[in-house]
Chains A and B, each alone.
Chain A
């Protein structure tokens, strides 16, 4: 008997228990490690059950109880499972005599849904996920495995950012002595879109394969909750123990006259040619990313934004800096502008009118006016699932809705609408519900990026939040011209900002707007996550010559904000910017 005490191996135990049962020949880890003999029973609780529910159902997960020897000794890899009695394929749990088709039924196979389903299955649950048929444009009857991120969001957007950004490289290259005697570079946008769609197809299939390999049943169709234990997919009904809603978000377009003439981000990702002149309505990250894509690709771009700044929710200085950079590239930004009507005069001519009485004419109008949780037709009311006033599904910190066997993750809960956050939520849910390991997703210090031109990378608090929460804050800022621009002549600059809690020296916010900002910020996010101090940052040797090294060489605060002085009406102490 080889029984060793070791916490990290608990996961292995579970793997050994759950996976091989579905197909006998491979027994994964060579040694089954148990902390103590009781653990097996304790672990079994999580089998297809919510943590509280289910000691009673534990044994019924299997048609026959496990053979006793198996509880303590697993065969070494070489002996395999040959000596073990054959076990039936995984079956869903029963409860109060009711046989379920699935332990988990996930509605929506996007980032959060796929992650949760895969891991629930790996933890031993019988899982199905339903998703609408694939289309690049989402609608009531179209979606696709992969979800927004893969099909209509992060991935295709980034591919177009790459594609259009080459135009800026060509410009930059001239400063370095490159020329194009055979003619100016020109983009065949339809070629790019075709390749992008090919890549999406590949990813869509890759996700399907992932689900298949994870033994998750994929059911194509629209899932509706009939009651808390019944899901209907296009007329077919499934009895399910747990339901996970992961239907994501949908684009919201305000119902103004002529709204039918506008395009949304779904359409904008699929245009076969670059618009000649486009108005983009909205000041959020989607609006600004497309502004960058189309501007670089040669379109004339106007942004209409209701407020007096772009990118609500980001650090104010970053917001202003980005606006300047966009304007420096020829993008016009109309602040305080509220569109009230779109008029289509002829095929290629749209007119946009604002409440302020301005009119704009061009070929395309794009609305990037927000996204709303996608809950239409889900049957939430019938099942008794509460939604908040913004129609987001209300969940507790474990992602459980007001109905205790119905859960929700990702954009449909409107917490932080980012793919990696949905992944984290999905993973935490699977651990909570199927591995007896109640896990709260942690929404603090989530780094994020905006792929504008130049892009933004950020983690932690904005300056306003920092002052609000900490009072005394040291602010370090630096604006510089990246080395490449000193030769290329590109006017775009880089801005970096560090916010430090003056009392503890802890870094509480980091912001960067400039080339490579998103790539740079990832490592800093690890550091901020672990509670790094400014002193530790300063003691780190720079990597030379990079833009990132600027963040470890900012020695003198630009200003020191002190709560007391603020109360005395003095505000902040302006300090001389650090000399280089």
Chain B
């Protein structure tokens, strides 16, 4: 029996709109996290679905990409694998503190690690392809000829074919960009950094975002000398300032040279894999590789969106409403290409919501509140909800800040001098938790459950009445009894500001 409502999806019937039949109900451009989820769910709701993706290559370009997308092939997965690999050196250091005799000349065979990483992402690429059994997939570069017609061009033969679809989803993601300085052509992006044939002895990382600090940690763990250059006083702009300061301290403590408040001015080539990075502070840093982790931009170029009147933002992102619908009513967009919150699980959520909205008669807006995230610097950072500054800005009532800075138990024996930081931000009047964060071992694993509690509206009292799991790092979150500081209610804060 056909479902009722505006989105009739009985696959056996011809899809018609104003008397016109389409080849597909749903065409997805880009088979990354968001695209796969939307395509799979749409198919499971009975829609006839097709999807297009560029051929597989670990390093992306105009003509190469691969099923799985950034997360699986050039992002979360490979970087976490390298993060694991690089973290062993810190573990071995700590093991010595526990009485393990480990000869000094331990080494990591980069070629082996790289091969293992490539094997794993190749496996995942195949897994993703298998997930799409109910979806017709095209390999090639897709673009829109009109709002219902998608053309897919085979990148090697140049052969073109066109299909029509009632709805189109743009899920093409984003790509790394360089800042414009002389010698930028000597630099690489995170794509290449994940696949370097050989590791040099020294690396310069330009940028202060999460990709920059993650690679700084990976390379440092693998034994490279690392210089990190960023414009802000601390890396990770947008995160809680106290967390950022802690991350700075940890990076430094683990041997990474930090150049804050610094801009690179040019890169000079000295010879084969020998470069000098100049900065506006007058530094000249010699290095074997220069990584530009200087931001990512939505990939909308060449899709033909502008011609169709799809509204794009300043960075080229597709402007969408809360249902992920663009300014053209049958064209939707999810994931990094919309430049909302550029995280895999957010793209999954958006993709799923679009499928529900269009094909399950269940209009579902994306929910971008209280999205938890993690940065896999070493040790990692993970947060959910508001930072302290945001809370002070947004909360009408008094804001209580609970913090705990402590030496994780493992370090009491291993001798590592590095404090973990935990933080809860509370609305004094409602007792609601506004934000939580942690820098320290297992932070990302620990915050996930905290995020559920906060999503469900947890109060500080809920935390206080929860029994700790002993001995764990996480138990610190339920044993913070006394606020470290208070920010007065908004009307008083404003008064103070006025007085100043």
Partners in one complex: yes
**Interface residues in chain A, defined as those with a beta carbon under 8 Å from any beta carbon in chain B:** 149, 154-155, 158-159, 162-163, 166, 169-170, 172-173, 175-183, 185-192, 195-196, 199, 202, 418-421, 423-424, 442, 445-449, 457, 483-484, 486-488, 516, 518-527, 529-530, 532-533, 536-537, 539-549, 551-552, 579-580
**Which A residues lie within 8 Å of B344 (CB)?**
544
CA distance A540 to B99 in the complex (A): 42
Whether the pair B117, A162 counts as a contact (CB closer than 8 A) is no
Whether the pair A163, B346 counts as a contact (CB closer than 8 A) is no
Between-chain CB contacts (< 8 Å), 21 pairs: A154-B471, A158-B409, A162-B409, A162-B413, A162-B414, A166-B98, A176-B113, A177-B85, A181-B105, A181-B106, A188-B101, A419-B470, A486-B123, A487-B117, A516-B442, A525-B449, A526-B462, A530-B456, A540-B452, A552-B448, A580-B127
The residue that A178 contacts in the complex, of B107, B446, B471, with Cβ under 8 A, is B107
| CB of B81 closer than 8 Å to a CB of A | yes
**Which B residues lie within 8 Å of A159 (CB)?**
409, 412-413
> Given that A523-B451, A530-B453 are contacting pairs, would A541 and B100 also be in contact in the complex, using a CB cutoff of 8 Å?
no
The residue that B445 contacts in the complex, of A169, A199, A520, A580, with Cβ under 8 A, is A520
**Which A residues lie within 8 Å of B97 (CB)?**
195
**Which A residues lie within 8 Å of B101 (CB)?**
185-188
* Cβ contacts B431-470/A at 8 Å (1 or 0 each): 0000000000010111111111101111100110111111
For the complex with contacts A176-B112, A187-B99, 5 further pairs of A-B residues with Cβ separation under 8 Å are A158-B471, A173-B91, A177-B112, A483-B84, A579-B131
Tell me, rounded to whole Å, the shortest Cβ–Cβ distance linking A436 to chain B: 20
**Which A residues lie within 8 Å of B345 (CB)?**
541-544, 549
**Interface residues in chain B, defined as those with a beta carbon under 8 Å from any beta carbon in chain A:** 71, 76-77, 80-81, 84-85, 88, 91-92, 94-95, 97-113, 116-117, 120, 123, 127, 131, 343-346, 348-349, 367, 370-374, 382, 409-410, 412-414, 442, 444-453, 455-459, 462-463, 465-475, 477-478
Whether the pair B469, A532 counts as a contact (CB closer than 8 A) is no
Whether the pair A543, B451 counts as a contact (CB closer than 8 A) is yes
**3 closest Cβ pairs, A-B complex:** A523-B449, A182-B103, A522-B474
**Which B residues lie within 8 Å of A546 (CB)?**
374, 444-445, 448
Tell me, rounded to whole Å, the shortest Cβ–Cβ distance linking B452 to chain A: 4
Whether the pair B84, A526 counts as a contact (CB closer than 8 A) is no
> Given that A186-B100, A546-B445 are contacting pairs, would A178 and B88 also be in contact in the complex, using a CB cutoff of 8 Å?
yes
Tell me, rounded to whole Å, the shortest Cβ–Cβ distance linking B274 to chain A: 25
**Which B residues lie within 8 Å of A516 (CB)?**
442, 445
Tell me, rounded to whole Å, the shortest Cβ–Cβ distance linking A33 to chain B: 15
**Which B residues lie within 8 Å of A552 (CB)?**
448, 452
Whether the pair A544, B467 counts as a contact (CB closer than 8 A) is no
Q: Which residue on chain B has the smallest CB distance to residue A181?
A: B105
Q: Residue among A162, A189, A446, A449 with the most chain B CB within 10 A?
A: A162
CA distance A533 to B345 in the complex (A): 20
Q: Which residue on chain A has the smallest CB distance to residue B477?
A: A522
Whether the pair B116, A522 counts as a contact (CB closer than 8 A) is no
Whether the pair A522, B468 counts as a contact (CB closer than 8 A) is yes
Tell me, rounded to whole Å, the shortest Cβ–Cβ distance linking B52 to chain A: 23
Tell me, rounded to whole Å, the shortest Cβ–Cβ distance linking B406 to chain A: 13
**Which A residues lie within 8 Å of B474 (CB)?**
518-523
CA distance A175 to B109 in the complex (A): 10
CA distance A468 to B414 in the complex (A): 46
Whether the pair A180, B103 counts as a contact (CB closer than 8 A) is yes
Whether the pair A175, B116 counts as a contact (CB closer than 8 A) is yes
**Which B residues lie within 8 Å of A518 (CB)?**
469, 472, 474
Whether the pair A521, B413 counts as a contact (CB closer than 8 A) is no
Q: Which residue on chain B has the smallest CB distance to residue A536?
A: B456
Whether the pair B452, A532 counts as a contact (CB closer than 8 A) is yes
Q: Which residue on chain B has the smallest CB distance to residue A199?
A: B412
Tell me, rounded to whole Å, the shortest Cβ–Cβ distance linking B402 to chain A: 14
Whether the pair A162, B449 counts as a contact (CB closer than 8 A) is no
Q: Residue among B372, B414, B442, B470 with the most chain A CB within 10 A?
A: B470
**Which A residues lie within 8 Å of B412 (CB)?**
159, 199, 202
Main secondary structure of the interface of A (DSSP, over half): helix
CA distance A27 to B127 in the complex (A): 67
**Which B residues lie within 8 Å of A525 (CB)?**
449, 466-467, 469, 478
The residue that B448 contacts in the complex, of A166, A192, A196, A523, with Cβ under 8 A, is A523
CA distance A45 to B94 in the complex (A): 53
> Given that A189-B99, A523-B477 are contacting pairs, would A543 and B453 also be in contact in the complex, using a CB cutoff of 8 Å?
no
Whether the pair A541, B99 counts as a contact (CB closer than 8 A) is no
**Which A residues lie within 8 Å of B445 (CB)?**
516, 519-520, 543, 546-548
CA distance A176 to B80 in the complex (A): 12
**Which B residues lie within 8 Å of A170 (CB)?**
92, 95
> Given that A177-B85, A541-B346, A541-B372 are contacting pairs, would A519 and B442 also be in contact in the complex, using a CB cutoff of 8 Å?
yes
Whether the pair A541, B449 counts as a contact (CB closer than 8 A) is no
Whether the pair A195, B80 counts as a contact (CB closer than 8 A) is no
Q: Which residue on chain A has the smallest CB distance to residue B382?
A: A543
Q: Residue among B444, B462, B474 with the most chain A CB within 10 A?
A: B474
Whether the pair B98, A449 counts as a contact (CB closer than 8 A) is no
Whether the pair A544, B105 counts as a contact (CB closer than 8 A) is no
Tell me, rounded to whole Å, the shortest Cβ–Cβ distance linking B111 to chain A: 8
CA distance A549 to B471 in the complex (A): 22
Tell me, rounded to whole Å, the shortest Cβ–Cβ distance linking B413 to chain A: 5
Whether the pair A551, B448 counts as a contact (CB closer than 8 A) is yes
> Given that A154-B470, A187-B99, A191-B99 are contacting pairs, would A519 and B109 also be in contact in the complex, using a CB cutoff of 8 Å?
no
Tell me, rounded to whole Å, the shortest Cβ–Cβ distance linking B415 to chain A: 9
> Given that A163-B99, A549-B448 are contacting pairs, would A519 and B466 also be in contact in the complex, using a CB cutoff of 8 Å?
no
**Which B residues lie within 8 Å of A547 (CB)?**
445
CA distance A449 to B472 in the complex (A): 9
Whether the pair B413, A420 counts as a contact (CB closer than 8 A) is no
Tell me, rounded to whole Å, the shortest Cβ–Cβ distance linking B99 to chain A: 4
The residue that A442 contacts in the complex, of B84, B107, B447, B465, with Cβ under 8 A, is B465
CA distance A396 to B92 in the complex (A): 50
The residue that B478 contacts in the complex, of A442, A448, A526, with Cβ under 8 A, is A526
> Given that A173-B88, A547-B445 are contacting pairs, would A424 and B374 also be in contact in the complex, using a CB cutoff of 8 Å?
no
Whether the pair B471, A155 counts as a contact (CB closer than 8 A) is yes
Q: Which residue on chain B has the smallest CB distance to residue A442?
A: B465
Tell me, rounded to whole Å, the shortest Cβ–Cβ distance linking B478 to chain A: 7
The residue that A526 contacts in the complex, of B98, B131, B371, B458, with Cβ under 8 A, is B458
**Which A residues lie within 8 Å of B372 (CB)?**
540-543
Tell me, rounded to whole Å, the shortest Cβ–Cβ distance linking A552 to chain B: 7
Tell me, rounded to whole Å, the shortest Cβ–Cβ distance linking B344 to chain A: 5
Tell me, rounded to whole Å, the shortest Cβ–Cβ distance linking B103 to chain A: 3
**Which B residues lie within 8 Å of A182 (CB)?**
103-106
CA distance A541 to B344 in the complex (A): 10
CA distance A557 to B92 in the complex (A): 41
Whether the pair A537, B100 counts as a contact (CB closer than 8 A) is no
CA distance A530 to B465 in the complex (A): 9
**Which B residues lie within 8 Å of A186 (CB)?**
100-101
Whether the pair A540, B413 counts as a contact (CB closer than 8 A) is no
Q: Which residue on chain A has the smallest CB distance to residue B476?
A: A522
**Which A residues lie within 8 Å of B450 (CB)?**
522-523, 526
CA distance A418 to B348 in the complex (A): 40
**Which A residues lie within 8 Å of B413 (CB)?**
159, 162-163, 192, 195-196, 199
The residue that A543 contacts in the complex, of B102, B374, B455, B465, with Cβ under 8 A, is B374
**Which B residues lie within 8 Å of A519 (CB)?**
442, 445-446, 469, 472-474
> Given that A149-B470, A179-B109 are contacting pairs, would A487 and B85 also be in contact in the complex, using a CB cutoff of 8 Å?
yes
Q: Residue among A187, A449, A520, A521 with the most chain B CB within 10 A?
A: A520
Whether the pair A539, B465 counts as a contact (CB closer than 8 A) is no
CA distance A187 to B100 in the complex (A): 4
> Given that A154-B471, A178-B108, A522-B468 are contacting pairs, would A542 and B448 also be in contact in the complex, using a CB cutoff of 8 Å?
yes
